[in-house]
Amino acid sequence: MNPAVLTVRNLSVQTASGPGQRPAADHVSFELRQGEVLALVGESGCGKTKTAEAIMGLLSPDRWKVTADEIRLEGTELTRLTPREAGRIRGSEISMVFQEPLTALDPVFTCGYQLCSVFRRHRGMGRRESRESSLAMFGRVGFSDPERTFNSYPHQLSGGMRQRVMIAMAMACRPAVLIADEPTTALDVTTQAQVLAQLVELGRAYGTAILLITHDLGVVAQYANRALVMSGGKIVENARVDELFDRPRHPATVTLLSHAAGAVN
């Protein structure tokens, strides 16, 4: 069994102003192993995104209270990092691809400038080297004309192309862990398949473990090795994908499977 690259123990997320409300994440624990694609699946509002944002350190302490016994990335305990230390790790050793790339990308800078900034910040590259690395990276995520992509602004690209730019930025430094939060929600079915295949292929090539957040069990069946089912802020099932489909144990899993079957029919 491969070693764990990300270990989460008793992670809870609650609104800072409403201690009496149900937590967005409630004592969530799991391990993500080297080279694995682990799906975090559940209905909208079950706490998947807040779990990911808490792991990444993206939740404002003014609005959210985050507690955990452990959030360990390889040998680094993320809960003990200063904001500056966390900023150095975020984007280099652990990255995230968001649901809507048009809001995640800066509209006033070209895609090339934004990818170059990743190489400069985390790899210490100069202008020429970061440009060459960016063009190569755009080629790796499937752009037939990397130069054109490099000089394009986000609004000049389709949704699928913008998502590929986000993947390029997230994978630029070959992180140990990539969190992909519903990365193809806004895309058509054909483009979804292309983008997900590219993401998983790049993860395998770079040895990056992927936490794939989704509500789509078709995506889980095709791309994940193992799945966590989340309901009401809790992890209610943890199983290999074949076991999940053949022998679901929790009512929330059964409901997800029945909804998926209904969508197909």
Residues 122-135: tens digit of each pLDDT: 999 999 999 999 99
- The CATH number of whichever domain residue 174 belongs to comes to 3.40.50.300
Measured over the CA atoms of residue 209, residue 68, residue 238 and residue 259, the dihedral's sign is negative
Q: pTM, whole model, 2 decimals?
A: 0.93
Tokens 């990056």 belong to 208
Structure tokens at 114: 């934004």
Residue ranges in the chain whose pLDDT is less than 50: 265
Q: Where are the alpha helices (DSSP H) in 172-211?
A: 189-206
What's residue 262's pLDDT? Answer: 55
Give the Å distances, CA to CA, from 76 to 80, 81, 105, 178, 212: 9, 9, 28, 16, 22
**Among all chains, which residue has been given the structure tokens 């752009």?**
143
Q: What is the pLDDT of residues 69-110, one digit of tens each?
A: 999 999 899 999 998 999 899 989 999 998 877 778 999 999
The pLDDT value recorded for residue 146 is 97
- Using DSSP, state whether 114 is helix, strand or coil: helix
In the chain, the number of structural domains is 1
Nearest alpha-carbon partner for 50 in 13, 99, 22, 2: 13
Q: What is the pLDDT of residue 265?
A: 45
Neighbours of 27 (CB within 10 A): 15
DSSP structural state of residue 105? S
Domain with 219 in it: 4-264
